[in-house]
Structure 1
């Protein structure tokens, strides 16, 4: 698919807004549109006045709010004048207020939250008419880079000052940095190279990624690692093909602990690595999600229906390809 966005590295930040890419002339499955519409209606109906989501134990966390915000944008909703513009604005306000509470620009309580919130800001930048986004995004990126610099492994874990690292939190920060760079925020090559080197250190000879080392490779972690290399334009790096093969061999496996987190990453990893693989997986994903969506439009999960619904919708969003991060 033709790349629709340019990467800017040095121009002034306020002139680097990204435009909203348009969906290709692909036919969107009716089942996908029906599920997505119902899911967005659920998120719209259950959003609180301050822009987050009640219920469960995570709906008020910046990371979940960021993912829910992304779910609206991923459907091509107009963030300035569309029917969900106020919902998007409320969530954006929530993230910006969360950042204001920390002078370093941290949107905690964990780096997971900060990473997904930063990704949301990056995808909003240039789409949403709000001058607060650019400085907030820059501050969020600075926090990620500062955290990496102080980490002996040049990666990340739960807290900005943690001196250990893992592939899930690190993958979240890498994707956020790449999205920010795509939006025009300068991100040093050295930072990305060091982060990818850490991910590589956790990749075994069969292409599977472990949590903090090469051992104990898991499917979700491998999808995260693969996605990081794809978005960094490093598909020719030795080992990438082995990870793709690992994903292919395990494509029917369902990870049960965090199923919607798994689907969120697996859809992106397969789409970036091998579109034919993604097409096969996408059909199964559509079937599974169609029978598990609740009557109110949500999907249920241990971390709250807002998180589960956002994850499910974003796993379907490659059918639309509106978000800049979904461009190949």
Structure 2
């Protein structure tokens, strides 16, 4: 069967849809079926038209168009902004501070008094729950001072007269801080609003970075931090100013002006490291402190120490080297990257400068005297100080604690301590013996030496208190709490330098734990 036979076409006589015809009757019938609905819709629209026509639209006043403009103002940039973390809400108890009355009548009887303020007591302004368990970084955070932790060799009490002097000195520093956060060597008197005569004692303007570092160290040594404490605002503002003065490429704090700029850098770097120790969650501060430490390393002479040049030119001196060791030790405590070779080079230089027969360490020659500017030698004889011996002693103490293979330094340290006892702190009205730089280093070195022989510290402590406490200014108001800068370096750092240095001296009782004789396996 072929295809034609199998599939026959189907024929249909129905009309296709488009061929259908519609008669008039069909259309009329369809329209009439819809008519009721059309009528109803027409009636509703007609009624709505009459209602709308009856409303008095002209009586309604037009409301003025309201235009809302919004300007987005970015919040002020916080130089210490950190990554957002869930905040823990803590209940903070209100602390009522006891008003301390200051007096300028300080006698030997008060100095020798056995009445002391317990640092662990709740009412003590030095109370805190943190303490650096390495070589120091005093206090921790939280309102002043702190408990001594793992290395419990230091004192836990301070005498009331020392307490008063510390608070007065810190208040003076607080009230003479500039609005931009620094301490201005020569402009600080203009910051005082206590009334009356403005204080004098201006320093040189190129030392602002250095004295700002010293002032910060005084507040940090008291136990406050960037996070909390009575002087938290002053610390945060001061650190922020230092960060603004740091070269982001090299890490240098300040400008490389003059031959002493490395002094300022090392002191400011020490302050940044101590600030970071109490604020380790701050990545910006960590980066700045590490860069400052790296700059210190780049400034050291190969196999030896430091002086005034970057890059180094082979010259070294004990004074700059001491500040560098201080800063590096603080960096190590803060868990920053530090090279052991920097400490080895410093110790090699100190050994070279120390006369092993006498224990005296020189400035640039073995067993020599401390440094003096030539035009100030007559007014402030360098025979009246043992500053370099004190610097070398403290370097030895810290380096011995840090390096695992350094031989015991006790024998040469004892000789150095005997040298310091021959030239103890003594205040003179003409300033000829007032080497506050020496008193600062000597106090910290001799405090450590009490674990070797108690008489070293006992003798120094009594002389230090007698030199410092009665000579703190208590009037006029703008001077109150400060010390006159009438020593060999007062013309450079001014009243900010002298006051910060004396506060640091008085913080020796709790600023550093005792490390001499407490060495651990590294």
Shorter-chain TM-score bucket reads 0.7 to 0.9
Kindly state the Cα deviation for residue 4 of structure 1 after the two structures are TM-superposed.
Answer: 5.0
Kindly state the Cα deviation for residue 113 of structure 1 after the two structures are TM-superposed.
Answer: 0.7
The correspondence of residues 117-266 of structure 1 with structure 2, limited to 5 A, is 117-128=268-279, 130-148=282-300, 151=301, 154-163=304-313, 164-205=315-356, 206-218=358-370, 219-233=386-400, 236-237=408-409, 239-251=412-424, 256=432, 259-266=435-442
Q: Deviations over 1:188-241 (max 9, x none)?
A: 222211111011111113110111110424410000000001011257236333
Per the alignment, do residues 35 and 93 of structure 1 end up closer, same or farther by CA in structure 2, a change over 3 Å counting?
A: same
1:23 equivalent in structure 2: 147
- TM-score, length-scaled by structure 2: 0.55
Per the alignment, do residues 253 and 207 of structure 1 end up closer, same or farther by CA in structure 2, a change over 3 Å counting?
A: farther
> Does structure 1 conserve the Cα–Cα contact (< 8 Å) formed by 2:483 and 2:495?
yes
> Does structure 2 conserve the Cα–Cα contact (< 8 Å) formed by 1:207 and 1:246?
yes
Kindly state the Cα deviation for residue 78 of structure 1 after the two structures are TM-superposed.
Answer: 4.5
- Distance, in Å, in 2 between the alignment partners of 1:47 and 1:286 is 26
Give ranges in structure 2 of 5+ residues lacking alignment: 1-130, 149-154, 187-201, 371-385, 401-405, 475-479, 516-522
Q: Which has the higher contact order (CA 8 A, sep 6+)?
A: 1
> Does structure 1 conserve the Cα–Cα contact (< 8 Å) formed by 2:421 and 2:460?
no
- Distance, in Å, in 2 between the alignment partners of 1:252 and 1:287 is 8
- TM-score, length-scaled by structure 1: 0.86
Per the alignment, do residues 257 and 285 of structure 1 end up closer, same or farther by CA in structure 2, a change over 3 Å counting?
A: closer
- Distance, in Å, in 2 between the alignment partners of 1:72 and 1:263 is 19
Are 1:62 and 2:237 matched, yes or no? no
The correspondence of residues 35-50 of structure 1 with structure 2, limited to 5 A, is 35-50=165-180
Per the alignment, do residues 311 and 242 of structure 1 end up closer, same or farther by CA in structure 2, a change over 3 Å counting?
A: same
Per the alignment, do residues 175 and 271 of structure 1 end up closer, same or farther by CA in structure 2, a change over 3 Å counting?
A: same
Give ranges in structure 1 of 5+ residues lacking alignment: 8-17
2:98 equivalent in structure 1: none
Return the structure number with greater helix share.
1
> Does structure 2 conserve the Cα–Cα contact (< 8 Å) formed by 1:67 and 1:117?
yes
> Does structure 1 conserve the Cα–Cα contact (< 8 Å) formed by 2:440 and 2:502?
yes
Per the alignment, do residues 86 and 4 of structure 1 end up closer, same or farther by CA in structure 2, a change over 3 Å counting?
A: closer
- Distance, in Å, in 2 between the alignment partners of 1:153 and 1:4 is 30
Are 1:33 and 2:163 matched, yes or no? yes
